[in-house]
Amino acid sequence: MKGNGYHVAVVGATGAVGTQMLSILEQRQFPVEKLTLLSSARSAGQKLLFNGAEVTVEEAAPEKFEGVDIALFSAGGSVSKALAPEAAKRGAIVIDNTSAFRMDPEVPLVVPEVNESDLHQHKGIIANPNCSTIQMVVALEPIRQAYGLSKVLVSTYQAVSGAGVQAITEMNEQSQAILNGEEVKASVLPVKGADRHYQIAFNAVPQIDVFDTNGYTYEEMKMINETKKIMHMQELKVSATCVRLPVENGHSESVYIEVNESGKNVADLHELLETAPGVVLQDRPDEQLYPMPSTAAGKLDVFVGRVRKDPDEDNGFHMWIVSDNLLKGAAWNSVQIAESLIKLKLV
């Protein structure tokens, strides 16, 4: 730390995640001595408020990272590929929220509750995992540590905010159009720039990101590969189905796991989840208490409920995991990594 804090840069400051980064930095009273807000040429010149003061957004360029200690990137993979190495070269520690570097063996992929110590290996760039992966591993890690984990099967119910501000607008406009009996227009979801677009309002779309050649989408492959990397378990069996729902904020996941130890029950898992860092257990069927996006949105925690033992598989359990995808799934996990760097004296 120099003087009163760190020189922090936020790249993609005007986006859905960037604006949340600013509010989390404020909320956590992160030691910011100087703040540089960067964006594309299109958004440059906008003024954003930070701790009550106006900060003008500048166009991102390599020289803007001179003197920066911590650079939080969330402006898309191509911006990260071009500028993250430039920032690192100038001495900044990059925390990158895109998929650009996540599977690079030289780049730690970190969820502080799970693998904080991987930060020691960083070489200037640290990757923030995919939103759906983060909330799942936070809930599964305490179970893995206690009973071992052999298999994970997940289906997601993902919010539109993950696809950015334009996707939120599209969902709202479509909903309004349908209720007014007007024609529905789609130009953003499921994937910006793709050949076809589908209605998201009053719908469920089983495609997030583009398709791989194996029939899985990239979002599904990210969950598979990133889970193994974060948990340091290449042998873990993981499969995923990722679905978009007309929910503004908050991803939900139906997760089936198999543990190594036999004879465990719901009470055992509850006990682990009740004291797990970053987890809030909401599992009271008698009171109809379970996590939902509407109650998780705006919160930093990962909420877990509907924990059940599989009727046939003694080592199998089902659960429902919900978290705010822009917060623990993106902005909060990134700022939390920055807090860990300070704690570990790596910045």
**Residues of this chain, 18-47, that bind ligand L14 according to CB under 6 A:** none
- CA–CA gap between residue 158 and residue 251 (Å, rounded): 4
Q: How far is the CB of 45 from ligand L14 (least distance, A)?
A: 27
Determine, following the binding rule CB under 6 A, whether residue 156 of this chain makes contact with ligand L14.
Answer: no
Residues 6+ apart with CB under 8 A from 286: none
Determine, following the binding rule CB under 6 A, whether residue 252 of this chain makes contact with ligand L14.
Answer: no
The residue from 20, 36, 43, 130 that contacts ligand L14 (CB under 6 A) is 130
Count of CB atoms within 10 A of residue 51's CB?
Answer: 11
Q: How far is the CB of 222 from ligand L14 (least distance, A)?
A: 6
The count of residues interacting with ligand L14 (CB under 6 A) is 10
Which of these ranges, 42-50, 155-163, 196-204, 229-237, lies near ligand L14 under the rule CB under 6 A?
155-163
Spell out the alpha helix ranges (H) of the chain: 16-27, 77-89, 112-115, 131-147, 165-179, 218-231, 266-275, 293-296, 332-343
Determine, following the binding rule CB under 6 A, whether residue 336 of this chain makes contact with ligand L14.
Answer: no
- DSSP codes of every residue in 301-347: SEEEEEEEE-SS-TTEEEEEEEE-TTIIIIIHHHHHHHHHHHHTT--
Determine, following the binding rule CB under 6 A, whether residue 16 of this chain makes contact with ligand L14.
Answer: no
Nearer to ligand L14, 57 or 242 (CB): 242
- CA–CA gap between residue 325 and residue 334 (Å, rounded): 12
Determine, following the binding rule CB under 6 A, whether residue 126 of this chain makes contact with ligand L14.
Answer: no
The answer to whether the CB of 200 falls within 8 A of the CB of 159 is no
Determine, following the binding rule CB under 6 A, whether residue 282 of this chain makes contact with ligand L14.
Answer: no
Q: Is 242 a catalytic residue?
A: no
Determine, following the binding rule CB under 6 A, whether residue 162 of this chain makes contact with ligand L14.
Answer: yes
- Structure tokens given for 103: 């599977």
Name the residue with tokens 């993981």.
238
Q: How far is the CB of 326 from ligand L14 (least distance, A)?
A: 10
Amino acid making up residue 145: Q
Nearer to ligand L14, 154 or 163 (CB): 163
Q: How far is the CB of 27 from ligand L14 (least distance, A)?
A: 22
The answer to whether the CB of 53 falls within 8 A of the CB of 85 is no
- CA–CA gap between residue 3 and residue 1 (Å, rounded): 6
The answer to whether the CB of 300 falls within 8 A of the CB of 327 is yes
Closest CB to ligand L14 belongs to which residue?
162
CA distances from 130 to 36, 113, 222 (A): 25, 15, 7
Determine, following the binding rule CB under 6 A, whether residue 99 of this chain makes contact with ligand L14.
Answer: yes
- CA–CA gap between residue 206 and residue 213 (Å, rounded): 16
- CA–CA gap between residue 322 and residue 305 (Å, rounded): 9
The residue from 7, 222, 229, 264 that contacts ligand L14 (CB under 6 A) is 222
The answer to whether the CB of 319 falls within 8 A of the CB of 255 is yes
Nearer to ligand L14, 109 or 131 (CB): 131
Determine, following the binding rule CB under 6 A, whether residue 324 of this chain makes contact with ligand L14.
Answer: no
List the catalytic residue out of 7, 122, 131, 242.
131
Q: Is 232 a catalytic residue?
A: no
Q: How far is the CB of 226 from ligand L14 (least distance, A)?
A: 9
Q: How far is the CB of 9 from ligand L14 (least distance, A)?
A: 19
- CA–CA gap between residue 277 and residue 132 (Å, rounded): 18
Determine, following the binding rule CB under 6 A, whether residue 328 of this chain makes contact with ligand L14.
Answer: no
- Structure tokens given for 272: 């682990």
Nearer to ligand L14, 1 or 210 (CB): 210
Q: How far is the CB of 217 from ligand L14 (least distance, A)?
A: 10
| Residue numbers at the binding site for ligand L14 (CB under 6 A) | 99, 130-131, 158, 162-163, 208-209, 219, 222
Q: Which residues are catalytic?
A: 131, 251
